Structure 1
Amino acid sequence: MKNIIKDSQLIENYKQTLGGVFSFSELATLFADPHKTSLYRRISELEDEGVLQRFIKGFYVAPNFDIEILNQKICPQSYISFTTVLSENSIIGMKPGNQIDAVKLGKTRIHKSSQWTLRQFGVAEHLIFGFESLNGVNKAAPEKALLDTFYFHQHGVAFPFDVNSEINWKRIDAEIVQIYLQEYKNPKFVAFMNRLMSVNL
Protein backbone atom coordinates (compact mmCIF):
# COMPACT_ATOMS: atom_id res chain seq x y z
CA MET A 1 0.00 0.00 0.00
CA LYS A 2 2.86 2.35 0.79
CA ASN A 3 4.35 1.89 -2.68
CA ILE A 4 1.05 2.39 -4.53
CA ILE A 5 0.47 5.78 -2.90
CA LYS A 6 4.03 6.89 -3.53
CA ASP A 7 4.08 5.53 -7.08
CA SER A 8 0.72 7.11 -7.94
CA GLN A 9 2.04 10.46 -6.80
CA LEU A 10 5.17 10.06 -8.90
CA ILE A 11 3.04 9.33 -11.98
CA GLU A 12 0.92 12.38 -11.25
CA ASN A 13 4.01 14.58 -10.78
CA TYR A 14 5.53 13.58 -14.14
CA LYS A 15 2.34 13.06 -16.16
CA GLN A 16 2.26 16.52 -17.68
CA THR A 17 5.98 16.61 -18.49
CA LEU A 18 5.84 13.23 -20.24
CA GLY A 19 2.46 13.71 -21.88
CA GLY A 20 1.02 10.90 -19.79
CA VAL A 21 3.21 8.37 -21.63
CA PHE A 22 5.74 6.25 -19.74
CA SER A 23 8.13 3.76 -21.23
CA PHE A 24 9.23 0.83 -19.08
CA SER A 25 12.72 2.33 -18.78
CA GLU A 26 11.25 5.66 -17.64
CA LEU A 27 9.21 3.90 -14.95
CA ALA A 28 12.31 2.00 -13.83
CA THR A 29 14.19 5.28 -13.46
CA LEU A 30 11.24 6.98 -11.77
CA PHE A 31 10.76 4.26 -9.19
CA ALA A 32 14.50 3.63 -8.73
CA ASP A 33 13.78 -0.07 -8.37
CA PRO A 34 16.70 -2.30 -9.42
CA HIS A 35 14.63 -5.50 -9.29
CA LYS A 36 12.56 -6.26 -12.39
CA THR A 37 10.15 -8.54 -10.54
CA SER A 38 9.40 -5.86 -7.99
CA LEU A 39 9.09 -3.21 -10.71
CA TYR A 40 6.59 -5.28 -12.70
CA ARG A 41 4.56 -5.85 -9.54
CA ARG A 42 4.44 -2.12 -8.83
CA ILE A 43 3.35 -1.37 -12.40
CA SER A 44 0.69 -4.08 -12.16
CA GLU A 45 -0.66 -2.48 -8.99
CA LEU A 46 -0.87 0.88 -10.78
CA GLU A 47 -2.77 -0.81 -13.61
CA ASP A 48 -5.21 -2.36 -11.12
CA GLU A 49 -5.84 1.09 -9.66
CA GLY A 50 -6.38 2.66 -13.09
CA VAL A 51 -3.35 4.94 -12.70
CA LEU A 52 -1.62 3.35 -15.71
CA GLN A 53 -2.72 1.26 -18.66
CA ARG A 54 -0.44 -0.89 -20.81
CA PHE A 55 -0.73 0.24 -24.44
CA ILE A 56 1.79 -2.14 -25.98
CA LYS A 57 4.75 -3.99 -24.55
CA GLY A 58 7.11 -1.51 -22.91
CA PHE A 59 4.74 1.49 -23.00
CA TYR A 60 2.18 2.58 -20.43
CA VAL A 61 -0.24 5.49 -20.47
CA ALA A 62 -2.02 7.52 -17.82
CA PRO A 63 -5.59 8.81 -18.26
CA ASN A 64 -5.87 11.65 -20.80
CA PHE A 65 -2.44 10.87 -22.28
CA ASP A 66 -1.15 12.52 -25.47
CA ILE A 67 -1.46 10.03 -28.34
CA GLU A 68 0.98 12.03 -30.47
CA ILE A 69 3.70 11.72 -27.83
CA LEU A 70 2.93 8.00 -27.55
CA ASN A 71 3.48 7.62 -31.30
CA GLN A 72 6.81 9.43 -31.05
CA LYS A 73 8.02 7.29 -28.15
CA ILE A 74 7.05 4.03 -29.81
CA CYS A 75 8.79 5.04 -33.04
CA PRO A 76 11.07 8.07 -32.56
CA GLN A 77 11.89 8.36 -36.28
CA SER A 78 8.23 8.45 -37.38
CA TYR A 79 6.19 11.54 -38.17
CA ILE A 80 2.45 12.20 -37.89
CA SER A 81 0.71 12.85 -41.20
CA PHE A 82 -2.56 12.24 -43.05
CA THR A 83 -5.86 13.21 -41.39
CA THR A 84 -4.34 14.89 -38.33
CA VAL A 85 -2.14 17.29 -40.30
CA LEU A 86 -4.73 17.95 -43.02
CA SER A 87 -7.32 18.76 -40.36
CA GLU A 88 -5.00 21.02 -38.36
CA ASN A 89 -4.29 23.00 -41.51
CA SER A 90 -7.97 23.26 -42.54
CA ILE A 91 -7.37 21.23 -45.70
CA ILE A 92 -10.17 18.91 -44.65
CA GLY A 93 -13.04 19.78 -42.36
CA MET A 94 -13.20 16.68 -40.19
CA LYS A 95 -11.24 15.88 -37.03
CA PRO A 96 -9.24 12.64 -36.79
CA GLY A 97 -11.17 11.24 -33.80
CA ASN A 98 -9.51 8.46 -31.82
CA GLN A 99 -7.00 7.53 -34.51
CA ILE A 100 -3.52 8.78 -35.30
CA ASP A 101 -1.77 7.88 -38.55
CA ALA A 102 1.97 8.25 -38.95
CA VAL A 103 4.72 7.39 -41.43
CA LYS A 104 7.77 5.35 -40.48
CA LEU A 105 10.68 3.54 -42.07
CA GLY A 106 10.16 -0.17 -42.69
CA LYS A 107 7.12 -2.32 -42.06
CA THR A 108 3.66 -1.00 -41.24
CA ARG A 109 2.57 -1.43 -37.63
CA ILE A 110 -0.93 -1.02 -36.19
CA HIS A 111 -1.42 -0.70 -32.44
CA LYS A 112 -4.82 -0.65 -30.78
CA SER A 113 -6.27 -0.11 -27.34
CA SER A 114 -9.89 0.00 -26.23
CA GLN A 115 -10.06 3.70 -27.18
CA TRP A 116 -7.25 4.47 -29.61
CA THR A 117 -5.87 3.20 -32.90
CA LEU A 118 -2.32 4.09 -33.85
CA ARG A 119 -1.36 3.26 -37.44
CA GLN A 120 2.29 3.64 -38.45
CA PHE A 121 2.64 3.14 -42.20
CA GLY A 122 5.97 1.91 -43.47
CA VAL A 123 7.78 3.50 -46.42
CA ALA A 124 11.18 3.35 -48.07
CA GLU A 125 13.89 5.60 -46.69
CA HIS A 126 13.74 8.09 -49.57
CA LEU A 127 10.15 8.98 -48.61
CA ILE A 128 11.01 9.96 -45.04
CA PHE A 129 11.13 13.74 -45.46
CA GLY A 130 8.93 16.82 -45.41
CA PHE A 131 8.33 17.08 -41.68
CA GLU A 132 9.48 19.10 -38.70
CA SER A 133 9.59 18.64 -34.94
CA LEU A 134 7.06 20.67 -32.94
CA ASN A 135 7.28 20.37 -29.16
CA GLY A 136 9.00 17.02 -29.49
CA VAL A 137 6.50 15.62 -31.99
CA ASN A 138 7.38 15.12 -35.67
CA LYS A 139 4.65 16.35 -38.02
CA ALA A 140 4.44 16.44 -41.79
CA ALA A 141 4.16 19.66 -43.73
CA PRO A 142 0.62 20.01 -45.16
CA GLU A 143 1.82 19.24 -48.69
CA LYS A 144 3.65 16.09 -47.54
CA ALA A 145 0.54 14.98 -45.64
CA LEU A 146 -1.41 15.40 -48.88
CA LEU A 147 1.10 13.31 -50.82
CA ASP A 148 1.22 10.66 -48.08
CA THR A 149 -2.57 10.44 -48.16
CA PHE A 150 -2.83 9.91 -51.92
CA TYR A 151 0.20 7.61 -51.97
CA PHE A 152 -1.32 5.24 -49.42
CA HIS A 153 -4.84 5.66 -50.79
CA GLN A 154 -3.53 4.25 -54.07
CA HIS A 155 -2.16 1.32 -52.04
CA GLY A 156 -5.61 0.55 -50.65
CA VAL A 157 -5.49 2.35 -47.30
CA ALA A 158 -8.84 3.76 -46.19
CA PHE A 159 -9.16 7.17 -44.54
CA PRO A 160 -12.12 8.62 -42.62
CA PHE A 161 -12.79 11.23 -45.31
CA ASP A 162 -13.33 11.24 -49.07
CA VAL A 163 -10.00 12.07 -50.71
CA ASN A 164 -11.80 12.87 -53.96
CA SER A 165 -14.23 15.48 -52.65
CA GLU A 166 -13.27 16.74 -49.18
CA ILE A 167 -9.87 18.36 -49.79
CA ASN A 168 -9.60 22.15 -49.84
CA TRP A 169 -7.00 22.52 -52.57
CA LYS A 170 -6.85 26.30 -52.09
CA ARG A 171 -4.79 25.69 -48.94
CA ILE A 172 -2.16 23.65 -50.80
CA ASP A 173 1.07 25.21 -52.08
CA ALA A 174 1.59 23.76 -55.57
CA GLU A 175 5.27 24.73 -55.67
CA ILE A 176 6.02 22.77 -52.51
CA VAL A 177 4.14 19.75 -53.86
CA GLN A 178 6.27 19.88 -57.01
CA ILE A 179 9.48 20.05 -54.98
CA TYR A 180 8.40 17.06 -52.88
CA LEU A 181 7.35 15.05 -55.94
CA GLN A 182 10.95 15.10 -57.14
CA GLU A 183 11.77 12.65 -54.34
CA TYR A 184 9.24 10.05 -55.52
CA LYS A 185 10.57 7.26 -57.70
CA ASN A 186 7.17 6.03 -58.87
CA PRO A 187 6.46 7.78 -62.21
CA LYS A 188 2.80 6.66 -62.21
CA PHE A 189 2.21 8.31 -58.84
CA VAL A 190 3.98 11.50 -59.95
CA ALA A 191 1.86 11.62 -63.11
CA PHE A 192 -1.29 10.99 -61.07
CA MET A 193 -0.51 13.87 -58.68
CA ASN A 194 0.32 16.20 -61.57
CA ARG A 195 -3.06 15.43 -63.14
CA LEU A 196 -4.81 16.11 -59.84
CA MET A 197 -3.03 19.43 -59.40
CA SER A 198 -3.74 20.53 -62.96
CA VAL A 199 -7.45 20.08 -62.27
CA ASN A 200 -7.58 21.45 -58.71
CA LEU A 201 -4.84 24.09 -58.46
Structure 2
Amino acid sequence: MSSSQINKNIIFSIYSKNKTVFTLTDIAMLTNESNFKSLNGKLNYYVSKGKLFRPRKGIYVKANYNPEELACVLYTPSYISLDYVLQKYGIIFQYDERMTAISYLSRSIEIEDRTYVYRKVKGEILVVTQGINRIENINMATPERAFLDTLYLNKDYYFDNLNPLNKELVYGLLPLYNSQALTIRVNKLLKNG
Protein backbone atom coordinates (compact mmCIF):
# COMPACT_ATOMS: atom_id res chain seq x y z
CA MET A 1 0.00 0.00 0.00
CA SER A 2 1.41 3.39 -0.94
CA SER A 3 2.02 6.22 1.53
CA SER A 4 -0.81 8.18 -0.09
CA GLN A 5 -3.27 5.29 0.43
CA ILE A 6 -2.22 4.90 4.07
CA ASN A 7 -2.77 8.64 4.65
CA LYS A 8 -6.21 8.46 3.01
CA ASN A 9 -7.06 5.45 5.19
CA ILE A 10 -6.15 7.42 8.32
CA ILE A 11 -8.37 10.36 7.46
CA PHE A 12 -11.15 8.04 6.25
CA SER A 13 -10.95 6.05 9.50
CA ILE A 14 -11.25 9.23 11.56
CA TYR A 15 -14.12 10.72 9.58
CA SER A 16 -16.07 7.44 9.42
CA LYS A 17 -16.53 7.51 13.22
CA ASN A 18 -19.29 9.39 15.07
CA LYS A 19 -16.64 10.54 17.51
CA THR A 20 -15.34 14.09 16.91
CA VAL A 21 -12.40 14.22 19.34
CA PHE A 22 -9.45 11.82 19.28
CA THR A 23 -6.24 11.34 21.19
CA LEU A 24 -3.13 10.16 19.39
CA THR A 25 -3.64 6.77 21.05
CA ASP A 26 -7.26 6.60 19.80
CA ILE A 27 -6.09 7.16 16.23
CA ALA A 28 -3.25 4.64 16.59
CA MET A 29 -5.73 1.97 17.71
CA LEU A 30 -8.23 2.96 15.01
CA THR A 31 -5.65 2.68 12.23
CA ASN A 32 -3.50 -0.14 13.68
CA GLU A 33 -0.49 2.17 13.51
CA SER A 34 2.15 1.33 16.11
CA ASN A 35 4.74 3.92 15.09
CA PHE A 36 3.59 6.99 17.03
CA LYS A 37 6.25 9.25 15.55
CA SER A 38 5.20 8.41 12.01
CA LEU A 39 1.50 8.71 12.87
CA ASN A 40 2.08 12.05 14.55
CA GLY A 41 3.82 13.31 11.40
CA LYS A 42 0.89 12.22 9.23
CA LEU A 43 -1.60 13.86 11.58
CA ASN A 44 0.42 17.08 11.60
CA TYR A 45 0.18 17.05 7.81
CA TYR A 46 -3.64 16.90 8.06
CA VAL A 47 -3.59 19.72 10.60
CA SER A 48 -1.51 21.85 8.20
CA LYS A 49 -4.01 21.11 5.39
CA GLY A 50 -7.03 21.97 7.59
CA LYS A 51 -8.53 18.46 7.51
CA LEU A 52 -7.98 18.04 11.26
CA PHE A 53 -7.41 20.49 14.08
CA ARG A 54 -5.21 20.15 17.15
CA PRO A 55 -6.60 22.19 20.07
CA ARG A 56 -4.03 20.71 22.48
CA LYS A 57 -0.93 18.59 22.10
CA GLY A 58 -1.91 14.96 21.48
CA ILE A 59 -5.60 15.77 20.82
CA TYR A 60 -7.08 15.98 17.34
CA VAL A 61 -10.58 17.09 16.39
CA LYS A 62 -12.72 17.15 13.28
CA ALA A 63 -14.12 20.42 12.00
CA ASN A 64 -17.32 21.21 13.91
CA TYR A 65 -16.28 19.00 16.82
CA ASN A 66 -18.48 18.72 19.91
CA PRO A 67 -17.07 20.89 22.77
CA GLU A 68 -18.75 18.61 25.33
CA GLU A 69 -16.78 15.70 23.89
CA LEU A 70 -13.57 17.72 24.05
CA ALA A 71 -14.25 18.56 27.72
CA CYS A 72 -14.30 14.83 28.51
CA VAL A 73 -11.02 14.16 26.66
CA LEU A 74 -8.86 17.09 27.80
CA TYR A 75 -8.41 15.53 31.24
CA THR A 76 -9.26 11.89 31.82
CA PRO A 77 -11.07 10.77 33.88
CA SER A 78 -13.58 13.60 33.92
CA TYR A 79 -17.26 14.27 33.43
CA ILE A 80 -19.32 17.37 32.70
CA SER A 81 -21.13 18.62 35.80
CA LEU A 82 -21.66 21.64 38.07
CA ASP A 83 -23.06 24.89 36.59
CA TYR A 84 -23.17 23.61 33.02
CA VAL A 85 -25.52 20.73 33.90
CA LEU A 86 -27.51 22.71 36.48
CA GLN A 87 -28.11 25.41 33.88
CA LYS A 88 -29.10 22.86 31.24
CA TYR A 89 -31.78 21.37 33.53
CA GLY A 90 -33.14 24.70 34.79
CA ILE A 91 -31.86 24.34 38.35
CA ILE A 92 -29.94 27.60 38.08
CA PHE A 93 -30.97 30.44 35.81
CA GLN A 94 -27.77 32.50 35.56
CA TYR A 95 -26.21 32.00 32.13
CA ASP A 96 -22.58 30.97 32.13
CA GLU A 97 -20.98 29.92 28.84
CA ARG A 98 -18.11 28.07 30.52
CA MET A 99 -17.99 24.29 30.25
CA THR A 100 -17.68 22.96 33.81
CA ALA A 101 -16.44 19.51 34.69
CA ILE A 102 -15.24 17.31 37.54
CA SER A 103 -11.77 15.76 37.31
CA TYR A 104 -8.67 14.78 39.29
CA LEU A 105 -7.35 18.37 39.16
CA SER A 106 -8.56 21.94 39.29
CA ARG A 107 -7.77 23.85 36.13
CA SER A 108 -9.21 26.42 33.76
CA ILE A 109 -8.17 26.45 30.12
CA GLU A 110 -9.31 28.35 27.07
CA ILE A 111 -9.62 26.77 23.64
CA GLU A 112 -11.10 28.67 20.68
CA ASP A 113 -12.83 31.31 22.82
CA ARG A 114 -14.42 28.69 25.09
CA THR A 115 -13.40 28.24 28.71
CA TYR A 116 -13.24 24.75 30.21
CA VAL A 117 -13.24 24.72 34.01
CA TYR A 118 -12.30 21.57 35.92
CA ARG A 119 -12.82 21.12 39.64
CA LYS A 120 -11.01 18.49 41.66
CA VAL A 121 -12.77 15.89 43.79
CA LYS A 122 -11.37 12.92 45.67
CA GLY A 123 -10.51 9.94 43.48
CA GLU A 124 -13.02 7.67 45.22
CA ILE A 125 -15.82 10.07 44.18
CA LEU A 126 -14.51 10.64 40.67
CA VAL A 127 -14.33 6.96 39.68
CA VAL A 128 -17.90 6.08 40.69
CA THR A 129 -20.05 6.16 37.56
CA GLN A 130 -23.40 6.18 39.35
CA GLY A 131 -25.26 9.34 38.34
CA ILE A 132 -23.14 9.86 35.21
CA ASN A 133 -24.58 9.20 31.77
CA ARG A 134 -22.32 8.29 28.85
CA ILE A 135 -23.98 9.27 25.59
CA GLU A 136 -22.09 9.53 22.30
CA ASN A 137 -18.60 9.83 23.85
CA ILE A 138 -19.74 12.38 26.44
CA ASN A 139 -19.73 11.74 30.19
CA MET A 140 -22.32 14.00 31.79
CA ALA A 141 -23.65 14.09 35.33
CA THR A 142 -27.36 13.73 35.92
CA PRO A 143 -28.89 16.86 37.47
CA GLU A 144 -28.88 15.06 40.82
CA ARG A 145 -25.17 14.28 40.65
CA ALA A 146 -24.38 17.83 39.45
CA PHE A 147 -26.40 19.19 42.39
CA LEU A 148 -24.40 17.07 44.85
CA ASP A 149 -21.06 17.87 43.16
CA THR A 150 -21.86 21.57 43.44
CA LEU A 151 -22.83 21.38 47.10
CA TYR A 152 -19.79 19.21 47.86
CA LEU A 153 -17.46 21.85 46.38
CA ASN A 154 -19.39 25.00 47.40
CA LYS A 155 -21.04 24.98 50.81
CA ASP A 156 -22.92 28.26 50.20
CA TYR A 157 -24.51 27.91 46.78
CA TYR A 158 -27.84 29.30 45.68
CA PHE A 159 -30.12 27.18 43.50
CA ASP A 160 -33.01 28.88 41.69
CA ASN A 161 -35.25 25.84 41.17
CA LEU A 162 -34.96 22.45 42.87
CA ASN A 163 -38.14 21.04 41.29
CA PRO A 164 -36.33 19.22 38.43
CA LEU A 165 -34.42 17.11 40.98
CA ASN A 166 -35.52 13.59 41.83
CA LYS A 167 -35.06 13.55 45.62
CA GLU A 168 -34.84 9.74 45.73
CA LEU A 169 -31.93 9.83 43.28
CA VAL A 170 -30.24 12.61 45.28
CA TYR A 171 -30.45 10.56 48.49
CA GLY A 172 -29.30 7.44 46.60
CA LEU A 173 -26.14 9.24 45.43
CA LEU A 174 -25.41 11.03 48.71
CA PRO A 175 -23.43 8.15 50.34
CA LEU A 176 -20.83 8.36 47.52
CA TYR A 177 -19.53 11.60 49.02
CA ASN A 178 -19.14 10.22 52.56
CA SER A 179 -19.67 13.69 54.04
CA GLN A 180 -21.81 14.45 57.06
CA ALA A 181 -21.66 18.19 56.32
CA LEU A 182 -22.94 17.58 52.78
CA THR A 183 -25.78 15.40 54.13
CA ILE A 184 -26.84 18.20 56.48
CA ARG A 185 -26.80 20.79 53.65
CA VAL A 186 -28.78 18.49 51.32
CA ASN A 187 -31.39 17.72 54.00
CA LYS A 188 -31.81 21.42 54.74
CA LEU A 189 -32.16 22.41 51.07
CA LEU A 190 -34.49 19.59 50.05
CA LYS A 191 -36.67 20.02 53.13
CA ASN A 192 -37.07 23.74 52.41
CA GLY A 193 -37.09 23.39 48.61
Task: Give the TM-score of the pair, scaled to structure 2.
Answer: 0.74
Q: Which amino acid aligns with 2:69?
A: I
Q: How far is 1:65 from its partner?
A: 0.6
Q: Which residue of 2 aligns with 1:82?
A: 82
Cα distance in 2 for partners of 1:115, 1:100 equals 11
Q: 1:168 aligns with which of 161, 164, 167?
A: 161
Matched position secondary structure for 2:176: coil
Q: Is the 2:13–2:30 contact (alpha carbons within 8 Å) kept by the matching residues of 1?
A: no
Q: Is the 1:8–1:51 contact (alpha carbons within 8 Å) kept by the matching residues of 2?
A: no
Q: 1:118 aligns with which of 116, 119, 125?
A: 116
How many pairs align? 189
Cα distance in 2 for partners of 1:35, 1:183 equals 42
Q: How far is 1:30 from its partner?
A: 5.7
Q: Is the 1:4–1:45 contact (alpha carbons within 8 Å) kept by the matching residues of 2?
A: no
Cα distance in 2 for partners of 1:25, 1:56 equals 14
Q: Which residue of 2 aligns with 1:159?
A: none
Cα distance in 2 for partners of 1:100, 1:10 equals 30
Unmatched runs of 5 consecutive residues or more in structure 2: none
Q: Which residue of 2 aligns with 1:27?
A: 27
The C-alpha deviation readout for 1:127-178, integer Å capped at 9, x for no partner, is 23422322342221211111112222339xxxxxxx525x321111223222
Q: Which residue of 2 aligns with 1:101?
A: 100
Q: 2:178 aligns with which of 160, 185, 199?
A: 185
The C-alpha deviation readout for 1:64-95, integer Å capped at 9, x for no partner, is 11122223334454222123322333333466
Q: Is the 2:19–2:137 contact (alpha carbons within 8 Å) kept by the matching residues of 1?
A: no
Q: Which amino acid aligns with 1:134?
A: I
Matched position secondary structure for 1:154: coil
Q: Which amino acid aligns with 1:88?
A: K
Closer, same or farther in 2 for the Cα pair 1:188/1:116, shift >3 Å? Answer: same
Cα distance in 2 for partners of 1:78, 1:72 equals 6
User: What's the RMSD between the two structures over aligned residues?
Assistant: 3.3
Q: Which residue of 1 aligns with 2:191?
A: 198
Task: Give the TM-score of the pair, scaled to structure 1.
Answer: 0.72
The share of aligned pairs that are identical, in percent, is 24
**Larger CA deviation: 46-55 vs 56-65:** 46-55
Q: How far is 1:60 from its partner?
A: 1.3
Q: Which residue of 2 aligns with 1:50?
A: 50
Q: Is the 1:15–1:21 contact (alpha carbons within 8 Å) kept by the matching residues of 2?
A: no
